[in-house]
Structure 1
Amino acid sequence: MHIVAVLALDGVIPFDLATPLEVFGRVRLADGSTPYEVRVYSAAGTVRAGAFTLDAPWGLETLLDADTIMLPGCADGAVVVPEGVLTLLRKAAADGTRLASICVGAFILAETGLLDGLRATTHWLAASALAARYPRVEVDPGVLYVDNGQFLTSAGAAAGLDLCLHLIRRDHGSAVAADAARLSVMPLEREGGQAQFIVPEQPPTPRGSTLEPLLRWMQENTDVDLTLGDIAARGGMSIRTLNRRFREQTGTTPLQWLLRARIRRAQHLLEASDEPVEQIAGRVGFGSPTAFRDRFKRVVGASPQTYRAAFRRSASPR
Structure 2
Amino acid sequence: LLALFWRHAERIPDRSRGSASPGITGNTPEMFPHWLVEVIALITQDPARHLPDLAFHAGVSPTQLRRAFRRHLGVTPVEYLNRARLERARSLIETTDGTVSEIATRVGLDSLSYFTKRYKEAFGHTPGRHRTRGI
Q: Is TM > 0.5 for Structure 1 vs Structure 2? A: yes
For the aligned residue pairs, the C-alpha RMSD in angstroms reads 2.7
**Secondary structure of the corresponding residue to residue 246 of structure 1:** helix
Structure 1 residue corresponding to 2:39, chosen from 214, 218, 239: 214
1:270 maps to 2:96? no
Q: Which has the larger radius of gyration?
A: 1
1:260 maps to 2:92? no
Aligned to 1:244: 67
How far did 1:257 drift?
0.3
- Counterpart amino acid of residue 223 in structure 1: A
4+ residue runs of structure 1 moved beyond 6 angstroms? none
Equivalents in 1 of 2:76, 2:112: separation in Å?
24
TM-score by length of 2: 0.71
How far did 1:246 drift?
0.6
Equivalents in 2 of 1:275, 1:260: separation in Å?
20
For 1:183-198, what aligned pairs fall within 5 Å after superposition?
none
For 1:218-229, what aligned pairs fall within 5 Å after superposition?
218-224=43-49, 226=50, 228-229=51-52
Structure 2 residue corresponding to 1:306, chosen from 111, 117, 129: 129
How far did 1:265 drift?
0.4
How far did 1:260 drift?
0.5
Structure 2: runs of 5+ lacking an equivalent: 1-13
Instruction: From the two aligned structures, give the one with the greater strand fraction.
Output: 1
| CA offsets 1:150-173 (integer angstroms, 9 cap, x no match) | xxxxxxxxxxxxxxxxxxxxxxxx
How far did 1:291 drift?
2.0
- Count of residue pairs brought into register by the alignment: 113
**Secondary structure of the corresponding residue to residue 293 of structure 1:** helix
Aligned to 2:102: 279
How far did 1:223 drift?
2.7
Equivalents in 2 of 1:241, 1:289: separation in Å?
31
How far did 1:212 drift?
0.7
Instruction: From the two aligned structures, give the one with the greater helix fraction.
Output: 2
How far did 1:283 drift?
1.1
Aligned to 1:294: 117
How far did 1:284 drift?
0.8
- Counterpart amino acid of residue 52 in structure 2: G
TM-score by length of 1: 0.32
Aligned to 2:58: 235
How far did 1:290 drift?
2.1
> Could you say which structure has the greater relative contact order, defined with CA pairs below 8 angstroms and 6 or more residues apart?
2
Equivalents in 2 of 1:288, 1:305: separation in Å?
15
Structure 1: runs of 5+ lacking an equivalent: 1-127, 142-200, 313-318
| CA offsets 1:163-200 (integer angstroms, 9 cap, x no match) | xxxxxxxxxxxxxxxxxxxxxxxxxxxxxxxxxxxxxx
- Counterpart amino acid of residue 217 in structure 1: L
